[in-house]
Structure 1
Amino acid sequence: MIDLSVPCPNPRLIALLSELAAGQGFSDSRLPEVRFMRSTQHVPNSPIVYDSSIVIIAQGRKTGTFDGRKIIYDPNHYLVLAVPLPFECETEGSLGEPLLGVSIEVKPAMVAELLLQMTSTKDEDLAPHAIDSASLDESLSEATVRLLESLRTGEDARILGPQRVREVVYRVLQGPLGHSLRLLAAPDSHFGQISRVLNRLHIDYTRNHDVTLLAQEAGMSVSTFHAHFKAVTSSSPLQYLKNIRLHKARQLMVHEGANAGVAALQVGYESASQFSREFKRLFGEGPAAEAERLRKALVRLA
């Protein structure tokens, strides 16, 4: 059970992320698989999508909602998202104490490589969760500090950074949520088979995918594929693809200035009216109104 007592922040994590995390929302680091997070306001529960990642929060709090479960990640708890997944999230930050965090992309190839070198693992019989949080221990916290310190200069990032990322992933594999990551590297597990399909949909979201072919790719019958897909993502394959497209379209409108029609075409919609209906159903506002709201919020907080 998650301890919801007052978070105990790591001062070094806060200092490093105060230096490294720029702007609002996500910002890039010197390594492509590492991104910083910063928010100086409270963001109500709203739909978001993350890649497969480990998220460490130094200050502030995020509350995710997935399949009816509340998932807290804050200075006491880290998040593991084993597969690319849309969910809902509330962000707690302020001008005086902004939310500060770091997201580290998880690659199945790295997980497999680390597992080959590990002599023991734990909790093999536990059911994997697509998304969950656990208590942040000292070993993972200090590994994250070492990663952030390596990202302060270009040479340290190039030489030391990749090994620091490996260390963070290794610490998570050793912890209570390691079983979900381990199954990503197990080619014959249902979770691993579904995760490969999810990663494909996450990258190749503009195509119209045939569910029968996706099931064949996962080595399952259509009915078994549907059941396992829903167990991991809490949605059908087509609904998952729709959510990914809508999130990508929102990013295009907010960050690249695309209008709704252009964004709809770029993410794979053939009907602008269908895009507008489905966008409003997910985000609660039409495409133009939602994009304008988010752009104004970014300007106000810049």
Structure 2
Amino acid sequence: MGERPVRRSDELVELLERYAKEDGTRETEIPGLRFIRASRITEPVHSVYEPSLCVVAQGSKEVLLGEERYQYDPASYLTASVYLPITGQIMEASPDAPYLSVQLQLDMNQILEVIQAAEQAGKPKHESGRGLVVSRLGDSLLEAVLRLVRLLDTPEDIPVLAAGFIREIIYRVLQDEQNAAMKQFALLGSRAQRIAKVIERMNREFAQPLKVEELAEEARMSASSLYSYFREVTGMSPIQYQKQLRLQEARRLLLSEGLGAADAAYQVGYESPSHFSREYTRKFGLPPGRDLQRLRETLGR
């Protein structure tokens, strides 16, 4: 890595250490921009990635999507084009060199505007692709991210300049061939965009019975095509995807809402508490009650 990129990386670390002084996630004054800090290697955390860009300034993180593993660090960045249930773990962090990252929520309308302005709406080689991609972080994208983060030093400039800097970030991301599929997720009527709409609906209605034929009709494709393209984008089948959403929400209800296992099971769509308990154990390694106890001990509750 040359001298100039090193200086940019050092500046991003300095800015994040200044604005994210404590471990956790910090929302910023720039809509959609947040910082994440961790002073130690973490246990695996189950969550749902929203469409977003993630840039690591220091440390490294591993993400598990289905059976696939993605690792990214200061030399790379991650993009999520659709909502994806993942398991994330910070792999490199310490009190002296904490994990520091930038996460920017991506708006599909903004992506479409950039595509149209850059006349990039031509059909790529592949119309669909995985909704999660790790790419090499180039100088132009890093500088664009820095320009956005620097605005926090002059908050009066945010209303005027932030939207333009975000458009540049999106443009730099779309220039990367590995993110070619992201264009299709934004283009109205494309196959990828229809799958993205199905994913959005499943995130809203995950507690309802899964009706693949109905989803296929909404996506204007056969059930077998929906299954195939859904797996191409998410790395899992619609049933597996729904199961991940249900179990993650059930775990949240157990920990944050104080619900019992049976009530949490019914609320996320399970009809049988015993079936829920078996699937929960396979997912998290312990039955609901014991897992809840472990989580409370870990969090000091």
Aligned equivalent of 2:54: 55
Aligned equivalent of 2:188: 187
Aligned equivalent of 1:95: 95
Deviation larger for 15-24 or 148-157: 148-157
Deviation at 1:208, TM superposition (A): 2.7
User: Contact conserved, 2:133 with 2:179, CA < 8 A, in 1?
Assistant: no
User: Contact conserved, 1:212 with 1:222, CA < 8 A, in 2?
Assistant: yes
Deviation at 1:243, TM superposition (A): 0.5
Deviation larger for 17-26 or 138-147: 17-26
In the superposition, relative to structure 1, how do residues 84 and 120 fare at CA in structure 2: closer, same or farther (>3 Å)? closer
User: Contact conserved, 2:130 with 2:234, CA < 8 A, in 1?
Assistant: no
Deviation at 1:286, TM superposition (A): 2.4
- 1:242 and 2:254 equivalent? no
Aligned equivalent of 1:233: 234
Deviation at 1:45, TM superposition (A): 4.9
Alpha-carbon distance in 1 for matches of 2:123, 2:100: 31
Q: Secondary structure of the equivalent of 1:279? A: helix
Deviation at 1:98, TM superposition (A): 1.4
Alignment-mate amino acid for residue 221 of structure 2: M
Alpha-carbon distance in 1 for matches of 2:221, 2:130: 20
Aligned equivalent of 2:212: 211
Deviation larger for 154-163 or 68-77: 154-163
Aligned equivalent of 2:25: 26
Aligned equivalent of 2:139: 138
Alignment-mate amino acid for residue 137 of structure 1: G
Alignment-mate amino acid for residue 70 of structure 1: R
User: Contact conserved, 1:134 with 1:176, CA < 8 A, in 2?
Assistant: no
Deviation at 1:87, TM superposition (A): 3.1
User: Contact conserved, 2:124 with 2:181, CA < 8 A, in 1?
Assistant: no
Larger radius of gyration: 2
Deviation at 1:219, TM superposition (A): 0.5
Deviation at 1:152, TM superposition (A): 5.2
In the superposition, relative to structure 1, how do residues 220 and 281 fare at CA in structure 2: closer, same or farther (>3 Å)? same
In the superposition, relative to structure 1, how do residues 212 and 81 fare at CA in structure 2: closer, same or farther (>3 Å)? same
Q: Secondary structure of the equivalent of 1:43? A: coil
Deviation at 1:19, TM superposition (A): 2.5
Alignment-mate amino acid for residue 203 of structure 1: R
User: Contact conserved, 1:56 with 1:103, CA < 8 A, in 2?
Assistant: yes
Aligned equivalent of 1:35: 34
Alignment-mate amino acid for residue 169 of structure 1: I
Alignment-mate amino acid for residue 56 of structure 2: I
User: Contact conserved, 1:46 with 1:283, CA < 8 A, in 2?
Assistant: no
Q: Secondary structure of the equivalent of 1:146? A: helix
Alignment-mate amino acid for residue 95 of structure 1: P
Deviation larger for 66-75 or 10-19: 66-75
Deviation at 1:14, TM superposition (A): 1.0
Aligned equivalent of 2:104: 104
User: Contact conserved, 1:62 with 1:89, CA < 8 A, in 2?
Assistant: yes
Alpha-carbon distance in 1 for matches of 2:13, 2:19: 10
Alpha-carbon distance in 2 for matches of 1:23, 1:261: 36
Structure 1: segments with no counterpart, 5+ residues? none
Q: Secondary structure of the equivalent of 2:177? A: coil
In the superposition, relative to structure 1, how do residues 12 and 123 fare at CA in structure 2: closer, same or farther (>3 Å)? farther
Alpha-carbon distance in 1 for matches of 2:17, 2:255: 25
Matches within 5 A, 1:1-302: 10-21=9-20, 23-45=22-44, 47-66=46-65, 68-92=67-91, 93-120=93-120, 124-126=124-126, 128-151=129-152, 155-299=156-300
The alignment's TM-score, normalised by the length of structure 1, stands at 0.85
Q: Secondary structure of the equivalent of 1:129? A: coil
User: Contact conserved, 2:121 with 2:183, CA < 8 A, in 1?
Assistant: no
Alignment-mate amino acid for residue 116 of structure 1: Q
Alpha-carbon distance in 2 for matches of 1:260, 1:94: 35
Q: Deviations over 1:120-168 (max 9, x none)?
A: 4799215632211111111111111122222456544444333332222
Deviation at 1:64, TM superposition (A): 2.4
In the superposition, relative to structure 1, how do residues 123 and 221 fare at CA in structure 2: closer, same or farther (>3 Å)? closer
Alpha-carbon distance in 2 for matches of 1:254, 1:178: 36
User: Contact conserved, 2:130 with 2:235, CA < 8 A, in 1?
Assistant: no
Alpha-carbon distance in 2 for matches of 1:191, 1:29: 31
Q: Equivalent pairs: percent with the same residue?
A: 34
In the superposition, relative to structure 1, how do residues 207 and 125 fare at CA in structure 2: closer, same or farther (>3 Å)? same
When the two chains are superposed, the root-mean-square deviation of aligned CA atoms in Å is: 2.9
Q: Secondary structure of the equivalent of 2:206? A: coil
Alignment-mate amino acid for residue 101 of structure 1: S
Q: Deviations over 1:195-235 (max 9, x none)?
A: 11112212332333421111011101111111111222222
User: Contact conserved, 2:81 with 2:182, CA < 8 A, in 1?
Assistant: yes
